[in-house]
Structure 1
Amino acid sequence: MRTGRSALVAALSGALALGAFTVQPAHAAATGIKVSNVVVNKGKPMVVGTSDTKYPTVSYRVTWPAGYTISTATTNPFMYHGTTPAKAYKASGNQLFHADTITCYEDGTRAANCQGTLRIRPRENLDSAKDATTWKLGAVAFLEKKGGKIDHEYLSTSGTLQVKRAARATVNASPEPVVKNRTLTVTGKLTRADWAKRTYAGYGNKLAKLQFRKAGTSTYTTVKTVRANSSGNLKTTVKATVDGYWRWTFGQTATTGGATAAGDYVDVK
Structure 2
Amino acid sequence: MRIRATVAAVSGALALSALVVPAAQADDSAASLRPDAAKLRQAAHAASAKSALSDAAAVRAGARYDLNVTFSNFKIAKTLKVGTTNHVSTAVTYTLTHGADVDITAADFITDPIIYKGSHAGPDNRLYGNKPAKCTATSATTANCKGTIDVYPGAHELRNTDAGTWKAAAEATAFNGQDPAGEDFDNSKVGYASQDGLGTTLVQRASKLTVNASPEPVKKGKTITITGKLSRANWDRGTYNGYVEQPVNLQFRKKNSSTYTTVKTIKTNATGDLKTTVKATEDGYFRYTFAGTTTTPAANATGDFIDVQ
Q: Give the alignment's TM-score, normalised by structure 2.
A: 0.74
Q: In the alignment, is residue 132 of structure 1 matched against residue 186 of structure 2?
A: no
SS at match of 2:88: coil
Whole-angstrom distance in 1 between the partners of 2:249 and 2:29: 43
Change in Cα spacing, 1:242 to 1:146, as seen in structure 2 (3 Å) is: closer
Query: Alignment partner for residue 180 of structure 1, among 192, 205, 220?
Result: 220
Q: In the alignment, is residue 154 of structure 1 matched against residue 185 of structure 2?
A: no
Matches within 5 A, 1:5-154: 11-12=27-28, 15=31, 18-19=34-35, 27-41=63-77, 44-72=78-106, 74-85=110-121, 87-88=122-123, 96-100=126-130, 102-124=133-155, 126-145=157-176, 149-154=189-194
Q: Is the 8 A contact 1:40 1:57 kept in 2?
A: yes
Quote how far apart the aligned CAs of 1:189 are: 0.8
Matching residue of 1:266: 306
Q: Percent identity?
A: 40
One-letter code of the match for 2:65?
A
Change in Cα spacing, 1:127 to 1:180, as seen in structure 2 (3 Å) is: same
Give unpaired runs (5+ residues) of structure 1. Answer: 1-6
Quote how far apart the aligned CAs of 1:147 are: 7.3
SS at match of 1:256: coil
Matches within 5 A, 1:190-229: 190-229=230-269
SS at match of 2:155: helix
Q: How many residues align?
A: 255
Quote how far apart the aligned CAs of 1:23 are: 10
Quote how far apart the aligned CAs of 1:231 are: 0.9
Give the alignment's Cα RMSD to 1 decimal: 2.8
Matches within 5 A, 1:216-255: 216-255=256-295
Q: Is the 8 A contact 1:10 1:104 kept in 2?
A: no
Q: Is the 8 A contact 1:9 1:104 kept in 2?
A: no
Whole-angstrom distance in 2 between the partners of 1:121 and 1:237: 40
Give unpaired runs (5+ residues) of structure 2. Answer: 1-22, 41-59, 180-188
Whole-angstrom distance in 1 between the partners of 2:111 and 2:89: 19
One-letter code of the match for 1:176?
E
Quote how far apart the aligned CAs of 1:173 are: 0.9
SS at match of 2:154: helix
Whole-angstrom distance in 1 between the partners of 2:240 and 2:25: 36
SS at match of 2:302: coil
Change in Cα spacing, 1:262 to 1:38, as seen in structure 2 (3 Å) is: same
Which structure has the higher relative contact order (CA within 8 Å, separation 6+)? 1
Change in Cα spacing, 1:213 to 1:38, as seen in structure 2 (3 Å) is: same
Q: Is the 8 A contact 1:35 1:157 kept in 2?
A: no
Whole-angstrom distance in 2 between the partners of 1:206 and 1:9: 51
